[in-house]
Amino acid sequence: MSDKITTNYPFTGEILQEYALSTDEIIIASLEKAEEVFMNWKKTSLNHRTELLQKLAEILDQNKEEYANLITHEMGKPYTESIAEIEKCIWLIDFYEKNADEFLADELIDTEAQESFISYDPLGCILAIMPWNYPFWQVMRFAVPTLTAGNTAILKHANNVTGCGLAIQNLFEAAGYPIGCFQTLLVSHDQIETIIENDIIKAVSLTGSEKAGRAVAEIAGKNLKKTVLELGGNNACIILEDANLDKYIETIVKARMQNSGQSCIAAKRFIVVEEIYDEFLEKFKEEVSNIKFGAPLDPKTEIGTLARVDLAEEVQRQVDESIQKGAKVFVGNKRDKAFFEPTILVDVQPGMPAFDEEVFGPVAAIIKAKDRHHAFKLASESSFGLGTMLFTEDIDEARKQIDSIEDGAFFINEMVKSDPRLPFGGTKASGYGRELSREGILEFVNKKTVYIK
């Protein structure tokens, strides 16, 4: 195992930086620092913590071009999308600054007691294991509510966005958070188990693959520690015969192709009722053909390379195996190193990787359904449960389907997306627990019953 982390610019392959892994001594010292800081941090007033949020947002806004440039270089996201990611982080911070006081206030319960209530107390140091596809947003949506609730945090970021991980630690410290309140550790997967087992770590939040989630949940469970898991997705996008394609086709294509298709909540399976299938396919193809590929730093670029060459190779495997099982290429299927051309597969059926697996790249699997009933049946044929999209003009009928969708989200005439005001998370192999909203800030607190007689 190498004792270094090397980051690369996916568009050219050039080496950006080399980092030394944290030694076991550094890890222990960081954990002890986190615990030491927690003892004081949990006693700070909520008013003080929300004042720091305001400063955090100011620094992000003042330096968003620098942060966006870092995101784009480390994982290849088009620069315009990187700017949008930083702006979304500012929105998140603003949301918790305004609402944390209400979310964390003692909840009075009427009983026979003189006074009884629920007190929301921080747990301690929380470990976050985060992915590369939204290197600031994924971390901030964990860190902002978790720290505001009075916890401290340790981040293990994806290796290919190590610079982002370190920049986020610097960001919190520049905003006035105590040194040790938020720390980024450069550690290997082998070191993660030891960190989770340490008594200082009280809980774990992981956003990543199903495989990673199962491994971390097993270690945490063995040590009786809570986990929040936001794992993969294979979202269905159901197109009914009355869908307004002229109005929504841009949204439908964006639901698959944003972030070069590297999103857990992207639409991956487009289940189209037969009656509208041909019209949908032509409009979808036309919209996809207009997507502009280019250098990620070019403001006109709408789709870039994938974050690493091996990720593009995995997408190629999934496409090739689907073709071997009967799928056909309608558009695309060209790869050059980390770039994978926006691709449309038709005749996709259950049993193919394009239907069963999460394809983390710009590949749209189009599935023909006989009718509405068949469309919903196909949508539910997934081990994942992150989100479903439905496009229809019959909203009353769509409402009747809410209970039949098992996923963590059901969006009608809109792409599934995360919003600070709404809880975010999945079911089945997409994980459990919720981020964002009031639900997110209460994931890592002790909901303590207080009874005074």
In-domain check, residue 338: yes
Q: What is the mean pLDDT of each run of 10 residues along the chain (453 residues)?
A: 90 97 97 98 98 98 98 97 98 98 98 98 98 98 98 98 98 98 95 97 98 98 98 98 98 98 98 98 98 95 97 98 98 97 98 98 98 97 98 97 96 98 98 98 98 97
Q: Do 376 and 446 have their domain in common? A: no
Please report which helix (H) or strand (E) contains residue 388, including its range.
strand 388-391
Q: Which of 359, 447, 348 is nearest to 120 (CA)?
A: 447
pLDDT at 2: 74
* Structural domain boundaries enclosing 388: 235-419
In-domain check, residue 195: yes
In-domain check, residue 220: yes
What does the chain come to in residues? 453
Q: Do 209 and 312 have their domain in common? A: no
Q: Do 437 and 415 have their domain in common? A: no
- What is the distance of C-alpha 34 from the center of its chain? 25
106 half-sphere exposure, CB direction, 13 A CA radius: 12
Distance CA 34, CA 201 (A): 9
Q: Do 101 and 196 have their domain in common? A: yes
pLDDT at 327: 98
Q: Do 442 and 396 have their domain in common? A: no
Alpha-carbon distances of 370 from 217, 240, 374, rounded to whole Å: 40, 11, 6
Is residue 388 within 8 Å of 414, Cβ to Cβ? no
Q: Do 439 and 318 have their domain in common? A: no
Please report which helix (H) or strand (E) contains residue 292, including its range.
none
Q: Do 313 and 263 have their domain in common? A: yes
Q: What is the CATH number of the domain that holds 434?
A: 3.40.605.10
Q: Do 220 and 297 have their domain in common? A: no
Q: What is the CATH number of the domain that holds 375?
A: 3.40.309.10
Q: Do 339 and 436 have their domain in common? A: no
In-domain check, residue 425: no
Q: Do 141 and 265 have their domain in common? A: no
Active site residue 275: no
Distance CA 421, CA 96 (A): 9
445 half-sphere exposure, CB direction, 13 A CA radius: 23
In-domain check, residue 124: yes
| Annotated catalytic residue, options 97, 230, 302, 357 | 230
Q: Which of 255, 424, 254, 257 is nearest to 343 (CA)?
A: 257
Largest pairwise CA distance in the chain = 72
Burial call 71-98: b when 16+ CB within 10 Å, e when fewer: bbbbbbbbbbbbbbbbebbbebbebbbe
pLDDT at 1: 56
Q: Do 164 and 57 have their domain in common? A: yes
In-domain check, residue 256: yes
In-domain check, residue 374: yes
Q: Do 281 and 396 have their domain in common? A: yes
Q: Name beta bridge partners: 438.
A: none
Q: Name beta bridge partners: 182.
A: 153
pLDDT at 189: 86
pLDDT at 359: 98
Is residue 323 within 8 Å of 332, Cβ to Cβ? no
Give the chain's domain count: 2
pLDDT at 13: 96
In-domain check, residue 113: yes
